[in-house]
Structure 1
Amino acid sequence: MTELLLGVDLGTSDTKVLVLHADGTRVGTWRRPTIWRRLPGRRVETEARTLLDGVLSVVTDALTTLDEPRVLALGLTGLAESGVVVDAAGAPKSQVIAWHDPRGAEQLAKVPADFRDAFPVTTGLPFHQQWTIAKLLWARDHGLELTPGCRWLNVPEYIAFALGADPVAEASLASRTGMLDLDTGGPWTAALDLLGVGAGFIPERRYAGEPAGTVRNPDAPGALRGATISVAGHDHPVAAFGAGAVGSDDLFNSCGTADTLLRAIPRVVTADERRLLTSARVEVGRHILPGTTLVNAPSRAGLVLRRVQTALGATDLGVLDAAYAGADASKATVTGSDVEADDVGIALREGATPADVWAAAVDANAGYTADLLARIAPVAGPYSRAVAAGGWLRLASIRQSKSAVLPGLTFSTIDQPGGFGAAVLAAWAAAGSPGEIGEFSARLRPGSFFVPSR
C-alpha cells in the first residue's frame, strides 16, 4: 500500500494537487482548470458544487495513476474572499463570487461613515469591494436571505466541509472577509450587525495544522476516505510556509497572477500600525501561524504581464524573455500594477518593438515591487533573507528584474510551495501536531531549496 499526503491548492486559474509519499518525497502534481462562469459587467462566479467536483476530479486523476494508494492527510489552501453561505443543514445558499468580481462597490458606498472609518483599523484591510463583506451585501440586496443558522465558509473551508470536515474558520482566510476583528481574533460585531447576522455566522476558529475532521463524502475516491483534513489557509502565506520563508526577518515574494510581498510579524500589530499600512494600500491580517500578523503588499503584476502577452499576440513568451536584456524599455510605458487599477495601459513611442513593450511591462512591475517594499518597511522593518516563488519566475526576465529591486533575492526550487505547505500542515495535524511545526516540516522538506538569484 502506498501511503500519501495531499496538498490541494484551489487557485483562480487552476486547481492543483501535489502528492507526496508519507516521508515527504514527491510523487507529482496534477491540475485542472478552475471553472468559472463569466457574466456581463466583469462579473465572474461559479457554483459550490462545481468547485467540489473540480477538486474530486483532480484528486481522482492523481490517485488512479498510483498502486494501492491510501491518503493519510489532505491539506486545503487556495483563494480567499470567495466562498459560500450554507444554511443550517449545510446546503449552499449562494453563488461563489470570484475575489476580483466588482460586485459590492455600490453597497459599500452606502454604509455608515463610522463603519467605513473603523473598517481599515479594525480589519486591517483597505476599504474597497474585494472583501467578502461587499459580496455578501450585494447578494443580500439581490435575494440572498441570511436566515438563522447560516454560516459563511471560504472556498477551502467549504471544500473541507463538503468532504466531511467540521465547519471551521481558518484565521488567514477569515482575515480576508472584512468580518474579523484583528485585536480579538474573533468576529467583528459591527460587520455582522451590518449584515444582520449573529456571531455564529463565522464558524469555530481552527488554525492551519489542526485537524478539521476526516474525509467522509461518498463521492470521494475510496483511497481518500478516512484521511485527516486540515484547512491550511490563504494560498500566499501557505506558499511562504511551504518555501520556508515565515521567519520574522524573511521576505517572501509570491509571483503569480497576484504578485505580493509578504512579511510575518510575531505579534498582533497595533491599531496605529494598521492605520499606517492600510493607508498605503497594504493589507494586514492573521497569519496561518498562531500569534503572528501577516503583512501583505499586493500588486496586479501577473495580470499585467498576461494582458501584455495577449495584446502582443505572443503565444511563446520564450522569444520575448530572451530579448529582454537587449530591449529598450524606454520606448514604451505600461501601467496597471496597482491593485486599484482596473485597466492595463500601454503607450508606445516611435520604433517600439514587442520586446520593448515586454521589457517596459517587466520593469514597471519591478518598480512597483520596490515601492511596495518601501511601504511595508516602517512596520515590518528590514529583511535579512528574501525568497521568491511562483509560476512567472520560469522567465529569466522576471528573475532578473526582481533581483534588481530585492537585494539578496533567492528562488525556491520547491515546485508548488502552496500545495507543499498544505500537505505538510495536514500531515502535522494527522500526526497529532507533535513538537514545533518548523521542525516537523524540515523533515519533509527537500534538502536544498534555495538557488542563487543570478
Structure 2
Amino acid sequence: MRCTLGVDIGTSSTKGVLAAEDGSILATATRAHDVDRPRTGWVEMDGRVWWDEFVAISRELLTSVPDAEVAGVGVSGMGPCILLADENDEPVRPAILYGVDTRSTAQIARLTTELGEDEITRVGGSSLTSQAGGAKIVWVAEEDPDAWARAKRLFMPASWLVRRLTGAYVLDHQSASQVSPFYDVEGERWHAPWWDAYADRIEAPPLTWAGDIAGAVMAEASALTGIPEGTPVITGTIDAWTEAVSAGAHGIGDLMLMYGTTMFLVATVAETLRTPSMWTTAGAFAGTRNLAGGMSTSGALTAWLKDLTDADYPQLLAEAADSGVGARGLLLLPYFAGERTPIQDPDARGVIAGLTLRHGRGDLYRAALEATALGVRHNVETMREAGADIRRIVAVGGGTQGRLWLQIVSDATGLVQEVPATTIGASYGAAFLAATAVAPAGAAPRIEDWNPVVDRIEPDPARRAAYDELFDRYLRLYAGTAEVVHELAESQRDAAHRDEAHRDGDR
C-alpha cells in the first residue's frame, strides 16, 4: 500500500503517522519525553533523543502496516531550537528550545544596542525576543565557550532528522527566518554581515523550502528505521507551520490556532508586516510571509492544574462548565513560564486574582481556559492592528478534542473556528508535504480532500459583553501587577542561583 510517513518532534512527545494516498490514516505512534529545565528560564533537550525516537516510531509504524510502501518521508519539529554539533555531527551541548527558554536576555539587549532595533527589524522583520535563535547562538559563544569551540553546524529537529536520514545539511527558510537577526526576510537568504560577525564558527546551512526534497534515505538509516533506501525525504520545517499545512490554513487571510503544550498562532499575509509585538517570518512556501505569535503556556497550564488537583480532565471540564463565564469572579494571567507574544515579557508570571474560600478546582480550571482564550484575543487584536487581514480561523492540536475550550476561545474572541477532520497535527502535515513532493506532475493531493473541515465553533453573542469586560480586566491586571511580578521573578532567580550553588557545594 503506497503511503507517506510523517514524524514531528514536539515539546512533550514525538508523533508519527502513516498516511495513505487519499490521506486516510493507516497507523500512528507516539513517544512521550520531557524537556530539561536545569535553571530558571532554561529549557533544553538532548538532541540525540530526536533521532532515537524517530527510529523507534518508524519501526513501530512499519511493523504495524506490513504492506506499507513508503513513497516519501516528512519531518517537522518544535522551533526555533538551537542544536549545535561538531564536525562529526555530535551535539556539543543540549539543544536550546524556542521562546520558552529565556536565557539570552543579555545577548538580546547587546545585539539590539550594537545593531540597532530599526535595522534588526528592517533586515529580519522582527525585534529580538526570547524567540530569536540567533541570540541563543551568541549565548553559547559567550556562556559555553567549550561547546562553542567545537561547534561547526546548526540544526533544528527537522533538519537533524534530515541529516541523519539523508546526509544532507540544509535548513528551511521558515526556520531560518527565526534565527534572528541572521536572516534577511526580504532577500530570503542569510544576512552574511551579521552571521560572519557573530556566528562565523558555524557553517551556515544551505536554505531550501519546507516541501522540497532534501535527499534520499541512506543505507545505514534504512537499516535502523526500516524505511527503504532511496526513499525521498523533504526538508520539513517548524511544527506550527507544518500543522497549518495539515489543516489547509496557509492561504492569504488564514489564521492557524494551535492548541498544544503552548498556544501558537500563524497568520498568512500578503506582504511583510512588521510589529515589535509579534514575529515576522518567511512562510512555509516560497514567496509567502507570516505574522506569528505564541503563548508560553496553554496545555502546560491545564496539565499543571490537573496534576495539582489530582483530578482527570473529564472531571475538570465538567466542573469548569458548571463554573460558567467569569469562573465565579476569578481572573487568571497565564504567564506561568513568562510570556512571548504580544507582551514579550520573560519575567511575567502567573497571577490568580479574586480567589476566595468558596472557589474550587473547577473555577480554577475555568479561569485557566479563559486566560488562554483572552491571551489568544490579545494576539489576534495585535495582529490586526499590525495590518493582518484575518478572514478564517482553523483550530488544530490536541486541545481541539475538548469542545468547552474551543467554545470559550470563540466566545472570548468573537471568532468562528473551523475544525478539520484530522487534528493529530504536524506529523500529518509532514506526511502531506511528502505526498505532494513525490506526486507525479499534475497529480498532487489537495489538503481539502485529505482533511476536510467537519466542525464550526460559533461564538455566542450573548456572552460577548461579559468577555469584553473580562478582557479589559485582563489587560489591566497585567499592567497593575507587572512591577511586583518582576520583583518576584528576580527573587526566583536569586533563589535558584542559591540552590544551584548549594548543590554544587555538595558535589
User: TM-score, with normalisation over the residues of structure 1?
Assistant: 0.88
Query: Residues 52-451 of structure 1 correspond to what in structure 2 (within 5 A)?
Result: 52-99=51-98, 100-111=100-111, 113-117=113-117, 118-141=119-142, 142-144=144-146, 150-178=152-180, 179-197=182-200, 201-216=203-218, 217-218=220-221, 219-267=223-271, 269=272, 273-274=273-274, 277-278=275-276, 281-300=277-296, 301-311=298-308, 313-328=309-324, 329-337=327-335, 338-339=339-340, 340-341=345-346, 342-347=348-353, 348-404=355-411, 405-431=413-439, 434-435=441-442, 440-442=445-447, 445-446=450-451, 448-451=452-455
Matched-pair contact (CA < 8 Å) for 1:146–1:196: no
Secondary structure of the residue that 1:8 maps to in structure 2? strand
Matched-pair contact (CA < 8 Å) for 1:386–1:406: no
Q: Distance in 1 between matches of 2:81 and 2:57?
A: 20
Q: After the TM superposition, which of the residue ranges 327-336 and 237-246 deviates more from structure 2?
A: 327-336
**1:267-312 CA-partner distances (Å, limit 9, x unpaired):** 4x1xxx41xx22xx2111001011010111222333333333333x
Q: Cα distance 1:36–1:255, how it changes in 2: closer, same or farther (>3 A)?
A: closer
Q: Distance in 1 between matches of 2:197 and 2:432?
A: 38
The Cα of 1:74 is off from its aligned counterpart by 0.6
Q: Give the aligned residue type for 1:296.
A: A
The Cα of 1:196 is off from its aligned counterpart by 4.2
Q: Give the aligned residue type for 2:317.
A: D
The Cα of 1:17 is off from its aligned counterpart by 0.4
Q: Distance in 1 between matches of 2:151 and 2:301?
A: 42
Matched-pair contact (CA < 8 Å) for 1:165–1:212: no
Q: Cα distance 1:125–1:306, how it changes in 2: closer, same or farther (>3 A)?
A: farther
Q: Cα distance 1:451–1:137, how it changes in 2: closer, same or farther (>3 A)?
A: same
Q: Cα distance 1:378–1:344, how it changes in 2: closer, same or farther (>3 A)?
A: closer
Q: Distance in 2 between matches of 1:168 and 1:40?
A: 31
Matched-pair contact (CA < 8 Å) for 2:29–2:57: yes
The Cα of 1:80 is off from its aligned counterpart by 1.1
Q: Cα distance 1:204–1:372, how it changes in 2: closer, same or farther (>3 A)?
A: same
Matched-pair contact (CA < 8 Å) for 2:215–2:233: yes
The Cα of 1:414 is off from its aligned counterpart by 1.0
Secondary structure of the residue that 1:27 maps to in structure 2? strand
Could you tell me which runs of 5 or more consecutive residues in structure 2 were left unpaired when the two chains were aligned.
459-507
More helix by share: 2
Q: Distance in 2 between matches of 1:196 and 1:288?
A: 25
Q: Give the aligned residue type for 1:119.
A: I
Q: Distance in 2 between matches of 1:112 and 1:414?
A: 42
Q: Distance in 2 between matches of 1:330 and 1:126?
A: 39
The Cα of 1:95 is off from its aligned counterpart by 2.6
Matched-pair contact (CA < 8 Å) for 1:285–1:293: yes
Q: Distance in 1 between matches of 2:193 and 2:15?
A: 37
Secondary structure of the residue that 2:405 maps to in structure 1? helix
Q: Distance in 2 between matches of 1:254 and 1:158?
A: 23
The Cα of 1:372 is off from its aligned counterpart by 1.4
**1:409-440 CA-partner distances (Å, limit 9, x unpaired):** 221221323112111111222236x349xx63
**1:230-265 CA-partner distances (Å, limit 9, x unpaired):** 022111121111101112122221111221222112
Identical positions, percent: 21
Q: Give the aligned residue type for 2:123.
A: T
**1:319-365 CA-partner distances (Å, limit 9, x unpaired):** 12123333151432211344235532223134112111111121222
Secondary structure of the residue that 2:136 maps to in structure 1? helix
Q: Distance in 2 between matches of 1:345 and 1:443?
A: 41
Q: Distance in 2 between matches of 1:416 and 1:304?
A: 20
Matched-pair contact (CA < 8 Å) for 1:19–1:27: yes
Secondary structure of the residue that 1:351 maps to in structure 2? coil
Q: Give the aligned residue type for 1:317.
A: Y
Q: Give the aligned residue type for 1:214.
A: A
Query: Residues 31-46 of structure 1 correspond to what in structure 2 (within 5 A)?
Result: 31-46=30-45
The Cα of 1:91 is off from its aligned counterpart by 4.1
**1:147-184 CA-partner distances (Å, limit 9, x unpaired):** 79923122210111111141112011111111211121
Matched-pair contact (CA < 8 Å) for 2:8–2:14: yes
Q: Distance in 2 between matches of 1:213 and 1:9?
A: 18
Q: Give the aligned residue type for 1:211.
A: I
